[in-house]
Amino acid sequence: MSPELPVPETGVLAVASHVVSGHVGNKIAVFVLQSMGCDVSALNTVQFSNHTGYRQFKGMRVSAQEITDLWEGLKQSHLDNFDLMLSGYVPGAAAVEAVGRIAKELKADAATRPGSFFWVLDPVMGDNGKIYVAEDVVPAYQDLIHHADLILPNQFEAELLSGVKITDSATLERAIEVLHEKYNLPHIVITSVSFPLSASQAPSLAGSRAHSPAPAAPGSPQQSRAPQTRTMSVVGSTRTSDRRPRLFKIHFPVFDCYFSGTGDMFAALMVVRMREAVCNNGGGPEGGVLNTESWLSPDGVDALDLPLAHAAEKVLASMHEVLARTCEAMPKEMEAAVARLRRKGGVGQNGAQQEGKNGEELDEKTLHLLRSRAAELNLSRNLACLRDPTVAYRAEKM
Amino acid sequence: MSPELPVPETGVLAVASHVVSGHVGNKIAVFVLQSMGCDVSALNTVQFSNHTGYRQFKGMRVSAQEITDLWEGLKQSHLDNFDLMLSGYVPGAAAVEAVGRIAKELKADAATRPGSFFWVLDPVMGDNGKIYVAEDVVPAYQDLIHHADLILPNQFEAELLSGVKITDSATLERAIEVLHEKYNLPHIVITSVSFPLSASQAPSLAGSRAHSPAPAAPGSPQQSRAPQTRTMSVVGSTRTSDRRPRLFKIHFPVFDCYFSGTGDMFAALMVVRMREAVCNNGGGPEGGVLNTESWLSPDGVDALDLPLAHAAEKVLASMHEVLARTCEAMPKEMEAAVARLRRKGGVGQNGAQQEGKNGEELDEKTLHLLRSRAAELNLSRNLACLRDPTVAYRAEKM
């Protein structure tokens, strides 16, 4: 293994959206996974010009039948061998079911080799109290998630899946209990827990969704430099043999800016770091779980010693560094975008006149578009943040 | 700029094919570009399960209208700002024309800022004497290429575009003269010149095509370890102000193995290294051409001092290292693939019995599939080959 690569050779099937411009869905997940040394098969569920947070886009969805065809194409050429699968945004219930069939086939194939296949499912359905997929996607995921090894819902999605409204620590714990008990889920990470703040107040580091149709408060470059005063939490758990939670939380500061693609980046990093934790700690306190079904640690392993907790710490460290650098670059990005628009004669349209270099007098729609572009995660020039982050936020007991 | 990144912030529009599994087209070009620090917008012209060299695949093409729609989507959200465009495989003449319209718009937008936009066109049409696109794609490219800044045909494609049959140095030079004169092309690199060998004998390092429907001689792991006895050449030229060629050639050893995606990797690396050469040598012997239309060096610059020649040297160095490592890993890859197939009960089908670990007794079709998989470029674990290759093959005068 190359010294800087965190995982041994790892084949990942990544199923998510593709955008031509910007960094959400597979567009960011594939790059993260490849940069960390994984061999990635990327099945794109849509091809859009840009993410939906811009509030306008063009492009096409891939149908359930086409997803199935691509999978059949892989199988007929013996290209269906994967150590992990990561599934993200899938358009519509039929397509979710098609993706679920792929995962189930891979699970079945691995049945005689425990731990040889691991499904990380990001059940993309909504955020901040709003569902932004078709209604029938929710039951489609409810039917599927008991096949997953690790799910990565945000707070709202955890509510949809568990049926528990999360308002405080007790209801949060109850929701995770339900997910372990009812669906027998091995690992759960809730990527954005914001109480005692209400969910709607908090654009999050790790939980904002690429497919949110209309972020309530798109950040401005100015906002991005404001001190990071609010915190949020990631809350995770690996179940015991009798389906009880082993809970940990990690607090992290929130940037006052609306990012898209953070959930997808979080998920891709979790794939790598979870495998890393399981591979590297075969003899450690976690016990050797690489050849254990769903990489479930023995009951004696404490929450803070879970591979899941170690993985989440590293993931958040990378996330924080990438977001910090993205924020840092935003004013310059905005300035360049406004200058380009001025050159093209696009500034001043709709009666607004351009005065300042940050386009203060642009119409609101144009400003939103430019800000959305400036908030795209800045990854390709910040690879060190992925590979070698400094862990600053540690897992704590709940 | 991060010390290890070769180029300043660079926006690239990459238009090519996408495969779920494997490494051709945009699947490899986007990763190469991102790994070198570019911000890549990736417009995928197809989504196939795998490249066509496997001789079977499933998936869908993106229509000319859909390509245009995606472009309109970018424009309406001010996401149409690029320093370079790289276009590769495009399915059908109408789609080639749609991609050409995008390039022409970007050229027109840059008209008042010379050197601010550069189009690298890989005119994917065929290889080794065979056209593997629709017949009307050839005139579609002939109509388009005078808008390109750099074209990267293989020997056969250079013949199709120039109308000159290339059999020796004289006809090669004549073909390049025609391309400079007739199409006013600034820069040309012919990626696989194999005379005095006939073209059909030589699976090449840099010229094999992802979309070749049936490679004549798929390599085996054993072959890949054979001594590299044959050589091929890359031949390049940047025209003078009166459209005369400045020719250079670079010899390199050929691996005795059929790779796919090498042309796409070559093209993506050329994008980066050409920009690097032009950015870094503003005051050097090439003169400062970053703000010159098509990055054309002054007439006094010698062929061996061209940014194009320096770029090609570095590109071939990276290619050679990646291919060497891919070859090195192939026997292990084959062994693992045969073992997987045996486990799944797929070995021995069609009456053949598995005996050796390399699947010597598998049926020919299965062997071809496994070998194609084993020959997929191994990039994600060999990033150092991209970033920091050792230049071993130098440009020489023709």
Q: A48 — contact with chain B (CB < 8 Å)?
A: yes
Strands A39-48 and A59-61, by their bridges, are antiparallel
Does the beta-carbon distance from A72 to B58 stay under 8 Å?
yes
Q: Are B212 and B53 in contact (CB under 8 A)?
A: yes
Please give the distance of CA A296 from its chain centroid, rounded to a whole number. Answer: 22
Q: Are B45 and B61 in contact (CB under 8 A)?
A: yes
Instruction: Report the candidate in A325, A333, A320, A155 with the shortest Cα–Cα distance to residue A254.
Output: A320
> In chain B, which residue's Cα lies nearest the Cα of A346?
B78
Q: A345 — contact with chain B (CB < 8 Å)?
A: no
Strand partners, B44: B16
**Residue of A21, A40, A99 best to disrupt the B interface, most CBs of B under 10 A:** A21
Residues 6+ apart with CB under 8 A from A270: A120, A150, A152, A189, A311, A312, A315
ipTM score: 0.91
Does the beta-carbon distance from A73 to B48 stay under 8 Å?
yes
Q: Please, how many CA atoms are within 13 Å of residue B321, restricted to the half-sphere of its CB?
A: 19
Instruction: Report the candidate in A316, A30, A384 with the shortest Cα–Cα distance to residue B40.
Output: A30
**Is residue B49 domain-resident?**
no
**Is residue B359 domain-resident?**
yes
**Is residue A83 domain-resident?**
no
Say how many Å lie between the first and final Cα of chain B, rounded.
36
H-helix or E-strand spanning residue A355: none
Q: What is the DSSP letter of B210?
A: T
pLDDT(A308) > 90: yes
Task: Let me know the angle formed at the C-alpha of A373 by B264 and A321, rounded to the nearest 5 degrees.
Answer: 85
Q: Where are the alpha helices (DSSP H) in A344-382?
A: 364-374
Q: B3 — contact with chain A (CB < 8 Å)?
A: no
Does the beta-carbon distance from B77 to A20 stay under 8 Å?
no
Please give the distance of CA B177 from its chain centroid, rounded to a whole number. Answer: 22
Does the beta-carbon distance from A381 to B22 stay under 8 Å?
no
Q: What is the DSSP letter of A296?
A: P
> In chain A, which residue's Cα lies nearest the Cα of B106?
A344
Q: Please, how many CA atoms are within 13 Å of residue A107, restricted to the half-sphere of its CB?
A: 17
Q: Which residue has the higher pLDDT, A287 or B335?
A: B335
Partner residue opposite B20 with nearest CB, options A42, A76, A373:
A42
**Cα Dmax for chain B:** 68
**Residue of B56, B58, B86 best to disrupt the A interface, most CBs of A under 10 A:** B58
The pLDDT assigned to A343 comes to: 87
CA dihedral sign, ordered B365, B23, A261, A170:
positive
Q: Please, how many CA atoms are within 13 Å of residue A316, restricted to the half-sphere of its CB?
A: 32
Q: B380 — contact with chain A (CB < 8 Å)?
A: yes
User: Over the Cα atoms of chain A, what is R_g?
Assistant: 21
Q: A344 — contact with chain B (CB < 8 Å)?
A: yes
Does the beta-carbon distance from B27 to A34 stay under 8 Å?
no
Using alpha carbons, list the distances in angstroms from residue A93 to A18, A96, A98, A124, A310.
18, 5, 9, 12, 33
In a 3-state reduction of DSSP, which class is residue B84? strand
CA A263 to CA A126: how far, in whole Å? 12
Q: Retrieve residue A315's tokens.
A: 């993931």
Q: Are B236 and B187 in contact (CB under 8 A)?
A: yes
Instruction: Report the candidate in A113, A118, A114 with the shortest Cα–Cα distance to residue A82.
Output: A118
Instruction: Report the number of distinct structural domains present in chain A.
Output: 1
Instruction: Report the candidate in A309, A308, A322, A306 with the shortest Cα–Cα distance to residue A389.
Output: A322
B8: number of Cβ within 10 Å:
13
Q: Which residue has the higher pLDDT, A384 or A360?
A: A384
CA A163 to CA A175: how far, in whole Å? 7
**Is residue B393 domain-resident?**
yes
Strand partners, B16: B44
Q: Are B190 and B244 in contact (CB under 8 A)?
A: no
For residue A346, with 0-12 CB atoms within 10 Å meaning exposed, 13-18 middle and 19 or more buried, which class applies?
Answer: middle
CA A45 to CA A124: how far, in whole Å? 13
In a 3-state reduction of DSSP, which class is residue B152? coil
| Arithmetic mean of pLDDT, A283-310 | 86
The pLDDT assigned to A257 comes to: 87
**Is residue A88 domain-resident?**
no
CA A366 to CA A344: how far, in whole Å? 14
Range of the domain at B217: 122-397
Examine the residue annotation and report whether B302 is marked as an active-site residue of this protein: no
Contacts of A329 in chain B (CB under 8 A): none
CA B123 to CA B64: how far, in whole Å? 17
Partner residue opposite B20 with nearest CB, options A34, A70, A78:
A70
The pLDDT assigned to B62 comes to: 98
Q: B38 — contact with chain A (CB < 8 Å)?
A: yes
**Is residue B96 domain-resident?**
no
The pLDDT assigned to B347 comes to: 57
- In total, the C-beta contacts within 8 angstroms joining chain A to chain B are 175
| Arithmetic mean of pLDDT, A132-161 | 96
The pLDDT assigned to A221 comes to: 33
Catalytic residue, candidates B242, B264, B299, B388: B264
Does the beta-carbon distance from B35 to A384 stay under 8 Å?
no
- Low-confidence stretches of chain B (pLDDT < 50) are 1, 197-227, 285-286, 349-354
E strand segments, chain A: 11-19, 39-48, 59-61, 84-87, 118-121, 126-127, 130-131, 150-151, 187-193, 231-238, 247-253, 396-397
Q: Which amino acid is it at B45?
A: T
Percent over 90 (pLDDT), chain A: 79
The pLDDT assigned to A363 comes to: 93
| Structure confidence at residue A347 as a pLDDT band (50, 70, 90) | low
Does the beta-carbon distance from B49 to A73 stay under 8 Å?
yes
The pLDDT assigned to A225 comes to: 43
Residue A316 is part of a domain; what is its CATH number?
Answer: 3.40.1190.20
DSSP letters for A61-106: EPPHHHHHHHHHHHHHTT----SEEEE----SHHHHHHHHHHHHHH
Q: B31 — contact with chain A (CB < 8 Å)?
A: yes
**Is residue A112 domain-resident?**
no
Q: Which residue has the higher pLDDT, A223 or A205?
A: A205
- Contacts with B, A 8-27, CB within 8 Å: 9, 18, 20-22, 27
CA A206 to CA A220: how far, in whole Å? 18
Average pLDDT, chain A: 88
Burial call A202-233: b when 16+ CB within 10 Å, e when fewer: bbbbbbbbbbbeebeebbbbebbeeebebebb
Q: Retrieve residue B4's tokens.
A: 């290890």
Residue given tokens 């640690």 in the structure block = A297
Instruction: Report the candidate in A261, A144, A249, A241 with the shortest Cα–Cα distance to residue A189.
Output: A249
Strand partners, A250: A234
Q: B73 — contact with chain A (CB < 8 Å)?
A: yes
A116: number of Cβ within 10 Å:
16
Q: B54 — contact with chain A (CB < 8 Å)?
A: yes
